[in-house]
Amino acid sequence: MVDQRSDDPSAALARYARARKKRILRERIIEGVLFLAACVSVLTTVGIVYVLLKESLVFFTKVPIWEFLTDTEWTPLFAEPRFGIWVLMSGTITSSLVALSIAIPLGTIIAIYLSEFAGHRTRETLKPILELLSGVPTIIYGYFALLFVTPLLQRIYPELPGFNVLSAGLVMGLMIIPYVSSLSEDAMRAVPMSLREGSYAMGATKLQTALFVVFPAALSGVASAYILGISRAVGETMILAVAAGMQPSLSFNPLEPAATITSYIVQVALGDLPHGSIGYQTIFAAGLSLLVLTLCFNLAGHWLRRRFREAY
């Protein structure tokens, strides 16, 4: 391109300086926009905390927090409402314990098997198939727990009610297996080969190496896999809402129906509670308890990762 003014070097320089300024400005604007996009996640957290605290604070002016933590009944929609969060908490704890008693042993065994015993081909085909377990929508697991697993369990134990924590918890445990196994396996595979070689050189077998060398070395990763499994179990909603019934009772018996924090929120949302009523506020107080619970597990996970980190 031949420019008429190109013989004048000072004009060319000035044009160059303008273009440069424009370009720098454009780059600044783009960076600003990208920064704002990155801040959306922070705003989400702020929004969650704000909404939960705002409604819960109103709730706690009507119901003393002491009563909330110590009462043994949860009947917020009765004429004489009682608000004991432990009733819902017991359902959450029972169902999570049932789920974890399936997911943690099976997930750990699968992780050790895939990382230390299985060949490359087996691992590469079976791992994605297993991960499909966590890709199935949870509502379908709810259907499966209510209409397949419960009738199956009733054949073994006929007195089992149609809604129970046991079958919901079992199905939930199966769903959580891939969360535990995939992360644990990644952690075990990250253990350097030299540790295994050292162990084999001492005459240890595969199993001994896996259990006494690789597993302890990967403990921080395995622990965070467990934590992830626990927080999935605690926050799981639909399986419990469909298959565990929604009857609040302060009991740790998995053979009975129970309400959990999450299924209570679903139950209230299905009904038609006016905005601002105490029933409406209870779901935010319940949600806050749930958030605090999962936050505790996340913090425990951070701590465990630091505490047991092995540097190679």
CA angle 71, 74, 77 (to 5 degrees): 130
In the beta sheet, which residues pair with residue 83?
74
- 206 and 153 in contact (C-beta within 8 Å)? no
Please report how close the Cβ of residue 80 comes to other proteins at its closest, in angstroms. 26
Number of residues that bind other proteins (CB under 8 A): 82
- 305 and 218 in contact (C-beta within 8 Å)? no
Does 187 engage in binding with other proteins (CB under 8 A)? Answer: no
The footprint of other proteins on residues 162-181 (CB under 8 A) is 174, 177-178
Please report how close the Cβ of residue 266 comes to other proteins at its closest, in angstroms. 5
Q: Which residues 6+ apart lie within 8 Å of 174 measured at CB?
A: 102, 103, 133
CA angle 242, 245, 251 (to 5 degrees): 135
Does 78 engage in binding with other proteins (CB under 8 A)? Answer: no
Does 125 engage in binding with other proteins (CB under 8 A)? Answer: no
Does 118 engage in binding with other proteins (CB under 8 A)? Answer: yes
Does 156 engage in binding with other proteins (CB under 8 A)? Answer: no
Distance CA 215, CA 279 (A): 48
Long-range contacts of the stretch 34-43 (C-beta < 8 A, 24+): none
Q: Which of 37, 79, 193, 201 binds other proteins (CB under 8 A)?
A: 37
Please report how close the Cβ of residue 269 comes to other proteins at its closest, in angstroms. 5
Nearer to other proteins, 175 or 219 (CB): 175
Encoded one letter per residue, x for contact with other proteins by CB under 8 A and - for no contact, window 263-302 reads: --xx--xx----x-------xx--x--xx--xx-xx----
- 171 and 102 in contact (C-beta within 8 Å)? no
The footprint of other proteins on residues 225-264 (CB under 8 A) is 228, 231, 234-238, 241-242, 262
What backbone torsions phi and psi does residue 74 show, to the nearest 5 degrees? -130, 95
Largest CA distance in the chain: 98
- 165 and 216 in contact (C-beta within 8 Å)? no
Does 201 engage in binding with other proteins (CB under 8 A)? Answer: no
Judged by CB under 8 A, the stretch of 6-14, 21-29, 59-67, 215-223 that binds other proteins is 21-29
Does 58 engage in binding with other proteins (CB under 8 A)? Answer: no
The footprint of other proteins on residues 208-227 (CB under 8 A) is 208, 210
Nearer to other proteins, 8 or 27 (CB): 27
Nearer to other proteins, 87 or 241 (CB): 241
The footprint of other proteins on residues 135-154 (CB under 8 A) is 135-144, 146-148
Please report how close the Cβ of residue 4 comes to other proteins at its closest, in angstroms. 25
Distance CA 270, CA 170 (A): 25
Q: Which of 6, 44, 72, 253 binds other proteins (CB under 8 A)?
A: 44
The burial class, CB within 10 Å (0-12 / 13-18 / 19+), for 233 is: buried
Q: Which of 11, 12, 48, 65 binds other proteins (CB under 8 A)?
A: 48
Please report how close the Cβ of residue 286 comes to other proteins at its closest, in angstroms. 9
Nearer to other proteins, 8 or 31 (CB): 31
What backbone torsions phi and psi does residue 83 show, to the nearest 5 degrees? -125, 85
Distance CA 37, CA 205 (A): 52
